Amino acid sequence: MTVSHANDSYFWVVTNFGAMSPDRGYKTQTMNTLVMGVAAIIEIALLSLFLH
């Protein structure tokens, strides 16, 4: 998963358990999942260089 947004159930679980409004969830959850997805892609690319 690279970006979690309002059409994703994970977005609503994190937003509700985090006691966030939907607007706050858009700003935090969407950006955080984007950063985690990009970091994972970079990590996998680096690992593939060394574990080939």
For residue 5, what pLDDT is reported? 74
Indicate whether 45 pLDDT > 80: yes
Q: Is residue 42 part of a domain?
A: yes
The number of domains in the chain is 1
Determine the 3-state secondary structure of 37 from DSSP.
Answer: helix
Check residue 42 and give its pLDDT.
96
The parent domain of residue 21 ranges over: 9-50
Asked if residue 13 is part of any domain, the answer here is yes
Instruction: Give the pair of three-digit tokens for residue 45.
Output: 């690319």
The reply to whether 3 falls in a domain is no
1 is a domain residue: no
Q: Is residue 44 part of a domain?
A: yes
pLDDT in tens, 3-43: 777 788 888 898 999 999 989 988 888 888 889 999 999 99
pLDDT for 1 equals 63
pLDDT, residue 11, reads: 86
DSSP assigned state of 18: T
C-alpha distances in Å from residue 5, one per residue of 34, 37, 46:
10, 13, 28
